[in-house]
A = this chain, B = another copy of it.
């Protein structure tokens, strides 16, 4: 299907939003004269979460192509974090952690079907985000924030798991990955929602040309973001925009204007379009005069998906391996904070940060407390952001139900190592292409709990040189790390695992709104099974 055919269809799909947005706009205009109930000190919050974008994909993080001028400017005007981590080397758990401030093993975004397995939310998953979890937008509502998610949700696609059930006021995007196209007979194409109603499906109303890589999705998401910001600014209501574009997840896509423009091929085209979008969003904040009232954070959900090959994945810079692994390439993320007049421009923070900190930090900036009835793993980084201070804290690297590694200061201790199984590896699935560190990038699950493998990430960011256990340095590092791990494990109450059960009947056969579009499909009979998570 070529874009000559599909562009009008995309345009059509876009028109639907424009009409709906206009309705929203009218309703907001009516409120213009109303009193602003929000605390004026609460800044707007924009979290831009990329999909499978790697640490090394930004010029300011060392991408040789240097094709991200807007993000590099953002860093020059804000604070850059070279030591920022996701909570999991995979999409769904990472996103659940960002919005709950809690490790996946607490918020339920993991599996116990097998040891140390990466699990996520394909459309056959039965589970999703629990109503027992408290999400960032739910708390922000207490201060009158209008909350919108644009793009990928990935916390479960069944109706009770969707964003508007969990604190978001608006949504344009999809619940699952944009894999496909599917045949709609034994597997439906992924729906795209506007708020709580399906408005089309990927590869149908929302075209992605896998052959050419063309899709207008990023432009749709950009326009939706700009409209939302415009309307909230005019309404003078504080807002939380969670902008979760997914163009850098395979199948990678870009719109026509960007295709072929990068030195890096299609993946680089997608990065350029996202960089351009970031620039437009920051510019709109400036133009609307709310840049000094808006905290913006840019990061990614996990490391570059190296197993997708050079045409469909990004760069993890000097780090080891990528997505799916607990090596640095799997979990260290590009990260930039921006808030003119508040965050000192052009600074680099060596603070160890986590996507979970975005929960605690956003609440702190909004003048809200984190929930006190549960363990929260995210830290409030506002002192770091506003005064460039530093807080000692560990980073835990989980794979499913297992703490694989921990970082404290410059030291990282691996208690378990695994890249992927020999079986997968021999089929050509490689999470560490071109990299091999003996005894580290193991193809069997190797336990090192009695004597962890320790690296100094300052002089060895690529995790290539295990520190000899015979050295004082090793013993000193271990003696500092051990009590941190003991404390963490002793205090850990795992949540109910949400990613254990699968069922073809729960797939996106008939999402709400399908009737109006005539796009309902018939679900097969329920036959649940324990999902198989191979790595």
Contacts and interface: CB of A to CB of B under 8 A. Distances in A.
Interface of A: 56, 59, 61-66, 76, 80, 82-83, 262-265, 267-268, 309-311, 315-318, 320, 348, 350, 410, 433-437, 456-465
A434 B435 contact: yes
Contact of A317 (B317, B320, B458, B463): B317
Contact of A460 (B310, B317, B460): B310
Contact of A264 (B65, B83, B263, B458): B458
Most chain B CB within 10 A, of A320, A435, A456, A459, is at A459
A464 to B, nearest CB: 4
Nearest to A315: B318
A65 B458 contact: yes
Contacts of A65: 82, 350, 458
Given A56-B318, A66-B82, A458-B268, A310 B464 contact: yes
Contacts of A435: 434-436
Nearest to A460: B310
A496 B315 CA distance: 43
Contacts of A457: 64
5 contacts: A61-B62, A64-B82, A66-B350, A76-B76, A435-B435
A66 B348 contact: yes
A279 B255 CA distance: 43
Given A62-B56, A318-B62, A459 B310 contact: yes
A434 B436 contact: yes
Nearest to A306: B464
Contacts of A462: 315, 434
A350 B458 contact: no
A348 B59 contact: yes
A309 B458 contact: no
Within the oligomer, what is the number of copies of this chain?
A: 2
Contact of A262 (B80, B264, B267, B458): B458
Nearest to A56: B318
B410 A317 contact: no
Contact of A62 (B311, B317, B458): B317
Contacts of A458: 65, 262-265, 268
Contact of A461 (B64, B267, B437, B463): B64
A459 B320 contact: no
A64 B459 CA distance: 10
Contacts of A76: 76
Contacts of A311: 459
A80 B60 CA distance: 12
The 7 closest A-B pairs by CB, nearest first: A62-B62, A434-B464, A263-B458, A265-B459, A66-B348, A310-B460, A64-B82
A76 B268 CA distance: 23
A151 to B, nearest CB: 24
A268 B62 contact: no
Given A320-B434, A350-B263, A458-B263, A309 B64 contact: no
A465 B312 CA distance: 12
A80 to B, nearest CB: 7
Contacts of A82: 64-66
Contacts of A310: 456, 459-460, 464-465
A61 B463 CA distance: 19
Contact of A464 (B56, B317, B433, B456): B433
A164 B180 CA distance: 69
A410 B459 contact: no
Contacts of A61: 62
A267 B433 contact: no
A73 to B, nearest CB: 10
A60 to B, nearest CB: 8
Contacts of A318: 56, 62, 64, 315-318
A475 to B, nearest CB: 18
Most chain B CB within 10 A, of A56, A82, A265, A434, is at A434
Given A263-B410, A310-B460, A433-B464, 7 more contacts: A65-B82, A65-B458, A66-B82, A66-B350, A262-B458, A264-B459, A433-B465
A518 to B, nearest CB: 41
B265 A461 contact: no
Most chain B CB within 10 A, of A62, A437, A464, is at A62
A44 B36 CA distance: 62
B62 A459 contact: no
A504 B59 CA distance: 49
Contacts of A268: 458-459
A496 to B, nearest CB: 37
Nearest to A309: B465
A56 B62 CA distance: 8
Contacts of A434: 320, 435-437, 462-464
Contacts of A267: 459
Nearest to A266: B459
Nearest to A457: B64
